[in-house]
Amino acid sequence: MSANWVFVGTTAELLPGESRVVWDDDTPILVVNYDGDYYALQDKCSHEDFELSAGHFDADDATVECALHGAKFDVRDGRPLCAPAYEPVAKFPVKIEDGMVWTRDDRDAD
């Protein structure tokens, strides 16, 4: 979608166990801090078009649960962990520069 990086916030604003949603054009991206590592997934359950950010991010298990039907995903790679989801959610790159967190939807980037 976009070759440009989207600013998420500073590392001080997104502490371990916290999450934030940013937009890259029309793509919502859920960024989570799992034990000091940052991961970004499309904020859309692969089972049904519903925001993963509305569900629970479990900072102990590195999972996010869709509030609509209970599908769980591993935030590190987007893979589904239980029904009703069988397809992974898109995972996006994250970079940290000078204490700032960035992400982008790189699916169509060159």
CB 37 within 8 A of CB 93: no
- Structural domain range at position 94: 6-103
Tokens of 81: 């962990």
| Residue listed under structure tokens 């029309």 | 26
pLDDT digits (tens, 9 = 90+) for 63-96: 999 999 999 999 999 999 999 999 999 999 999 9
State how beta strands 6-10 and 27-34 pair: unpaired
Is residue 72 a part of any domain in this protein?
yes
Bridge partners of residue 73, in order along the sequence: 64, 80
SS3 83: coil
Q: Is the pTM of this model over 0.85?
A: yes
pLDDT of residue 2: 57
Residue 104 has pLDDT above 60, yes or no: yes
pLDDT of residue 37: 98
The CATH number of residue 61's host domain is 2.102.10.10
Is residue 16 a part of any domain in this protein?
yes
pLDDT of residue 3: 73
Domain count for the chain, please give it.
1
Query: pLDDT over 90 for what percent of the chain?
Result: 95
CB 43 within 8 A of CB 28: yes
